[in-house]
Chains A and B, each alone.
Chain A
Amino acid sequence: MERTLIVAGFGGQGVLSLGMVIARAGMSEGYEVSWLPSYGPEQRGGTANCHVILSDEPVACPLVGHPQTLIAFNLPSLEKFAQRVVPGGEILVESGLEAAVTREDVRLYALPALEEANRFGDTRVANMVMLGAWLELHPILGDEAIEDALRRVISKRHHDLLPLDLEAIRAGRRLMAMARA
């Protein structure tokens, strides 16, 4: 088994931590994992992205050229990476952006993650909504592993947000379940 992802969006949308939660949880579930961030000026106000791999085998190369999953939070990220998704792969986007996806050979899920996060009163948890959606598609990481990963990824001074994050993840799962139904 190997799962490869690219998570991309504006800096500050939590794309790096989304990927990191998956990698950390993957590690505690016994997978070989890697997480590679974009670096440099890309991070300054522009787009940020990270490459994530979970695998049964040692990871050959932490770069993900062609992800099975693209999670895109904004148009520039979608334009940059949509063509790279493997045929038969999937793209998760913020609703409203789906029109920009021209590919027929991938599954496309447009989810109102921002709107959902807004309902929790904190748009910062939109990344967790997307995480929940991805977990619904790929039930390979247990709740405990995810919670533990969250605790490690999120800085201590934001630990009061943990219940909110978990709530957002559950909401994401529901959204995805509805989208697939």
Chain B
Amino acid sequence: MGERELMKGNEAMAEAAIRAGCRYFFGYPITPQSELLEYMARHLAGRGGVFLQAESEVSAINMVYGAAGAGARVMTATSSPGFSLMQEGLSYMAGAELPAVVVNVVRGGPGLGGLQPAQSDYFQATKGGGHGDYRLIVLAPSSPQEAADLVYEAFDVADRYRNVVLILADSILAQAMEPVELPPARDPASLPAKPWATVGRGERAEPNLVNSLYLAAEDLWALNQRLQAKYRRIEAEETRWAEEWTEEADWLVVAYGSMARIALAAIRQLRREEGLRVGLFRPISLWPFPSRALARRAAGTRGVLTMEMSTGQMVEDVRLAVEGAVPVRFFGKTGGVVPEVEEAVEAIRRMVAETEPRHAHPVR
């Protein structure tokens, strides 16, 4: 493995993509992902690739559609308002089963919102986002290192399932510099072939077609059944999470991305100073959501606290997973206001107090 480099998350993601064999990037500038775009602009041409600044996120995602359909490893990156504009293209890519990697460095919303970090695009990211019954595989790193690792792997995952993989990041990890050990570079020529891609018919008798239109209802139903079968396979094979101090934990905090780092600092402090047995459960794949693993962990505890930089989105999946077995509480701030470690500490203390046995609501 290589040396550790001090890198911004945005740059680490860009470099990891190139090393994964991605040679095509189409994007539109928006804070706070522009460093990723600019990194690609600086590096791709020199490494045999193409960087193109599109006229909008709408065009960018459709260029990704074309390039993915032509068999290339391709990427785009944006932030919340741009991600909204990409929903149409993402829905078409789901229908046409095209693989690509998309990064959303989430900023506060709604509307033009702000430039500061947030996690308020969770619903849009994990529940489909555009029209139709589809899912993106959503991976949420919590450090520049993990961002690089997940982007690198995301290209393989996308190709394996012919599905878009979304990296849901925030500007803390996108702009923070931490030591990153980069994965080895792969030669695009060494990647598995894509016989379905539209590259010109050549010797083939039947043309290839990249398409999401099915005018006969039974055909569209058949596509949907095929997609659902694929999604079940992805749920079985691609669910990811991390745990810290969850063995014999009395309470569980659930948080992802940079919020999980804040939670970790808070938990570390509480364990050290007050001896509270609190564990951290950190979903890495937000879709598929690690429901079963979370349910298992939550079962032995007195309560679960979900922390988000939103007004409460992932908490719905946490509740669905826990199914009322133990109380699920929520703490969050959004709009770019990042919760302080002390606030997280306070929130955990509150949950602990409320879920001590004498306060616990009986579960019927």
**Bound Cα distance A39, B30 (Å):** 13
State which of A20, A60, A63 has its C-beta within 8 Å of the C-beta of B338: A63
Residues from chain A with a CB closer than 8 A to the CB of B45 are none
The total number of A-B Cβ pairs within 8 Å is 64
With A36-B175, A40-B116 already in contact, the answer to whether A63 and B32 are too (CB < 8 A) is no
A62 and B261 contact, CB distance less than 8 A: yes
State which of A20, A37, A61 has its C-beta within 8 Å of the C-beta of B175: A37
B176 and A36 contact, CB distance less than 8 A: yes
Residues from chain B with a CB closer than 8 A to the CB of A40 are 31-32, 114-116
Of A24, A33, A34, A62, chain B has the most CB atoms within 10 Å of the CB of A62
CB distance from B4 to the nearest CB of A (A): 7
With A40-B116, A61-B264, A63-B172 already in contact, the answer to whether A34 and B341 are too (CB < 8 A) is no
A122 within 8 A of B: no
A87 within 8 A of B: no
B173-205 vs A: 1/0 string, CB under 8 Å? Answer: 101111100000000000000000000000000
Within 8 A of B (CB), among A38-76: 39-41, 59-63, 65
Q: Which residue of B lies closest to A152 (CB)?
A: B6
A23 within 8 A of B: yes
B178 and A34 contact, CB distance less than 8 A: yes
Q: Count of chain B residues with Cβ under 8 Å from any Cβ of A?
A: 25
Residues from chain A with a CB closer than 8 A to the CB of B342 are 65
B172 and A36 contact, CB distance less than 8 A: yes
With A27-B6, A41-B115 already in contact, the answer to whether A61 and B265 are too (CB < 8 A) is yes
State which of B177, B178, B179, B262 has its C-beta within 8 Å of the C-beta of A63: B262
State which of A27, A33, A35, A60 has its C-beta within 8 Å of the C-beta of B261: A60
A35 and B32 contact, CB distance less than 8 A: no
Residues from chain B with a CB closer than 8 A to the CB of A33 are 6, 178-179
State which of B6, B31, B116, B172 has its C-beta within 8 Å of the C-beta of A62: B172
Q: Which residue of A lies closest to B142 (CB)?
A: A61
B268 within 8 A of A: yes
B179 and A60 contact, CB distance less than 8 A: no
A62 and B176 contact, CB distance less than 8 A: yes
With A23-B6, A32-B179, A33-B178 already in contact, the answer to whether A65 and B340 are too (CB < 8 A) is yes
CB distance from A68 to the nearest CB of B (A): 14
With A23-B6, A33-B6, A65-B341 already in contact, the answer to whether A59 and B32 are too (CB < 8 A) is no
B262 and A61 contact, CB distance less than 8 A: yes
B171 within 8 A of A: yes
With A39-B171, A40-B31, A61-B262 already in contact, the answer to whether A27 and B179 are too (CB < 8 A) is yes
Residues from chain A with a CB closer than 8 A to the CB of B338 are 63
State which of B4, B31, B176, B265 has its C-beta within 8 Å of the C-beta of A35: B176
**Bound Cα distance A152, B172 (Å):** 22
CB distance from A86 to the nearest CB of B (A): 12
B268 and A60 contact, CB distance less than 8 A: yes
B265 and A20 contact, CB distance less than 8 A: no
Within 8 A of B (CB), among A109-140: none
**Bound Cα distance A41, B261 (Å):** 25
Q: Name B's A-contacting residues (CB within 8 A).
A: 4, 6, 31-32, 114-116, 171-173, 175-179, 258, 261-262, 264-265, 268, 338, 340-342
- In the complex, 17 of the A-B residue pairs with CB atoms within 8 angstroms, ordered by the A residue number, are A20-B6, A24-B6, A33-B6, A34-B176, A34-B177, A34-B178, A35-B176, A39-B116, A39-B175, A40-B31, A40-B115, A61-B262, A62-B258, A63-B261, A63-B262, A63-B340, A152-B6
